[in-house]
Structure 1
Amino acid sequence: MTDAPARYAGVRAYETLLREIQDGTLPPGAVLAEVEQAARLGVSRTPLREALRRLAADGLVEQASPRVTVVAGIDASDIEALFAVRRALEETAARLAARAGGRSVFAALAAEFAATQASGGAASDADAYYALIARFDAELDAAVRNDYLTSALRTVRTHLVRVRRLARDNPERLAASVAEHRLIAGAIAAGDGDLAAHATHVHLHNALASILDSLSDTPEEPS
């Protein structure tokens, strides 16, 4: 049986590697050699292996060979597949949230999105804007009251952090995203499930198009 210190070390290693994969410190294809990573993270190889198993279950690392683990790549087809799942889940979540109680929370969020839109804050402080999105997501999960749906959404969001970086420096897209979230939050607050789902569909369509455009505009690395 694994003792508590080892479990904690595994969790710490997982969270560190997850953050580094999501923020690009560990890019796609980066080799995660056990000996080097264990030394770098200050853990033994057993908790490191547990961390790598969790990351593999998340789809964030893969075996390049029986002894070599690498950060999984992400390309246009992966992103399109991710958004197909995201669309089904988030449209359903928006519709369910509009039928639930506690709509005043979404009215307050809609007001925050409106204030961000008026000040242009998304472009000037993307981190603060993504923190607002995280709060919106958390309230959406709470309103849905469906553990299966929210668990699936958490898995999708794990990958979205990586994907969002591709469009992070696009001020026009950030500004449009604020307006789209304002409409979604307002529709949920009004109890209009059809509008909430449709506004979510439009937002995700635009987000995917922007990310794919970013990918096509990215110069290839020299060989």
Structure 2
Amino acid sequence: MPPQTPRPSRSSGQEAYDLLLQAIDSGALPAGTRLREAELAERFRISRTPVREALKRLEAQGLVLHEPHHGAAVASLDYGQVAELYHMREVLEGTAAGLAATHATATEVEILREMVERDRGLLGDPPALAASNRAFHRQIRLSARNRFLNATLDTMRISLALLAGTTLAVPGRGVESVEEHAAIVAAIEAHDTAAAEAAARRHIRNAFKVRIGLEHARG
């Protein structure tokens, strides 16, 4: 694993966790990558103790596996796990959009509209669009005003880090996704709970179809 650009030394387990999670999420540490404490400490310019703590936390969350005689490695999701993950996303993201249609303020609706418009300018940059996509869904969750739903979706977001690449890099998917977001926002603005939930569910189902296509393409 090549070293990253030098950065100030970090020492806490939380910072080590954030760095490792970001590397997994971005694909810099793809599924199956062996995770050796010494190499990671050198790569991220941190000591081995917080790296060890971060690996244990990631293992507890299912992102890292510890295999006897082989050590730690980035986990991977099989087809069944991917299907289960997207099914729960559909249910929970749909619920969040429906609640947002009830609770979102005019200011929050305006923020969501601005996010959609900004995303139209990111269609040529899938990684940036993917980051903005995460922010959009987080804003909907916050607008839903349900801390337990928000916490559950945040936990699910961690599992999504194991999915290789972004579906938004598939030709045409970026445009479709942005228009699907626009439909969700329109329903929230109209305070149409059923329409908002249906639009969000449809959005996640379409993302799942594209994800399965990516998995098949990888063999």
TM-score (norm 1): 0.83
Aligned to 2:76: 73
Deviation, 1:93, is 0.6
AA aligned to 2:208 is L
Aligned residue pair count = 210
**Aligned to 1:123, what secondary structure does the other structure show?**
coil
Q: Which ranges in structure 2 are unaligned for 5 or more consecutive residues?
A: 1-9
CA–CA distance in 1 between the matches of 2:131 and 2:44? 27
CA distance in 2, matches of 1:36, 1:126: 29
Query: Which of the numbers 1, 13, 16 marks the counterpart of 2:16?
Result: 13
SS at match of 1:62: strand
With 187-196 and 35-44 compared, the bigger mean Cα shift is at: 35-44
CA distance in 2 between counterparts of 1:116 and 1:37 reads: 34
Aligned residue number for residue 193 of structure 1: 193
Q: 1:107·1:185 contact (CA, 8 Å) conserved in 2?
A: no
Q: Secondary structure at the match of 1:163?
A: coil
Match of 1:135 in 2: 135
* 1:172-215 Cα shifts (integer Å, max 9, x gaps): 11111111110001111110010000011111111100110111
Pair 1:210 & 2:210 matched: yes
Q: Which residue of 2 aligns with 1:4?
A: none
Q: Distance in 2 between matches of 1:112 and 1:12?
A: 28
Structure with higher helix content = 1
Q: CA separation of 1:68/1:152 partners in 2, compared to 1, >3 Å: closer, same or farther?
A: same
| CA deviation profile, 1:24-43 (whole Å, cap 9, x unmatched) | 11111111122332343333
Task: Give yes or no for contact 2:104–2:188 (8 Å, CA) kept in 1.
Answer: no
Structure 1 runs not aligned, ≥5 long: 1-6
The letter for the 2-side match of 1:174 is G
Q: Using the TM superposition, give the Cα deviation of residue 128 of structure 1 relative to its aligned residue in structure 2, in angstroms.
A: 3.8
Once the 2 structures are TM-superposed, how far is the Cα of residue 151 of structure 1 from its aligned partner?
0.9
**Cα distance change on mapping 1:184 and 1:146 into 2, 3 Å:** same
Q: Distance in 2 between matches of 1:131 and 1:26?
A: 18
Paired residue type of 1:177: S
> Could you tell me whether the CA contact under 8 Å between 1:26 and 1:71 is conserved in 2?
yes
Indicate whether 1:54 and 2:57 are aligned: yes
Deviation digits for residues 92-149 of structure 1, max 9, x if unmatched? 11111111140442245235525755xxx34312244334323322321221222211
Correspondence for 1:3: none
Residue 183 (structure 1) aligned with residue 186 (structure 2): no
